[in-house]
Amino acid sequence: MLLAPPGTGPCNPTPTLEEKSRRWTQLNSKRYGDNKRRFGHVETQKEDMPPEHVRKIIKDHGDMSSKKFTHEKRVYLGALKFVPHVVFKLLENMPMPWEQVRHVKVLYHVTGAITFVNEIPWVVEPIYMAQWGTMWIITT
């Protein structure tokens, strides 16, 4: 049996496709893995605050002309870019004519700068069309 002299043979054979796939998976699991474990911080679910809490924030921050809000005006200016989305979510969750009241969950900034409706309306389209058709018949 003939052996090649040292240093003349293939020193690093090409890895197989399975080996490349395994290394790629390991690299991406490290890169895009669960960040919660890496930094030791677990995001907790925040409990819903009562509606009175939101009302108080809006009432307290309704008039921005007082001197105690001079440092918070920057927060309000930063919130302006989200106003189109706020209006969209508000119109999307508006009560329909056949509903008396619609209670929705809201997401709000601590300073009261902006408040979002935090729900997606789930509707069954045939029922939705039938309800609107009934409303058209009743009103005409």
> What would the DSSP string read from start to end of 29-75?
HHHSS-HHHHHT--PPPPPPPPHHHHHHHHHHTS-TTSGGGTTTHHH
Instruction: Note the pTM of the prediction, 2 decimals.
Output: 0.56
Residue 98 near residue 135 (C-beta atoms within 8 A)? yes
Q: What is the pLDDT of residue 67?
A: 75
Q: What is the mean pLDDT of each run of 10 residues along the chain (140 residues)?
A: 64 76 85 63 73 80 72 82 92 88 86 85 88 85
Eight-state DSSP code of residue 50: P
107 φ, ψ (degrees, to nearest 5): -120, 125
Q: What is the pLDDT of residue 107?
A: 87
Q: What is the pLDDT of residue 81?
A: 92
Q: What is the pLDDT of residue 52?
A: 86
Q: What is the pLDDT of residue 84?
A: 94
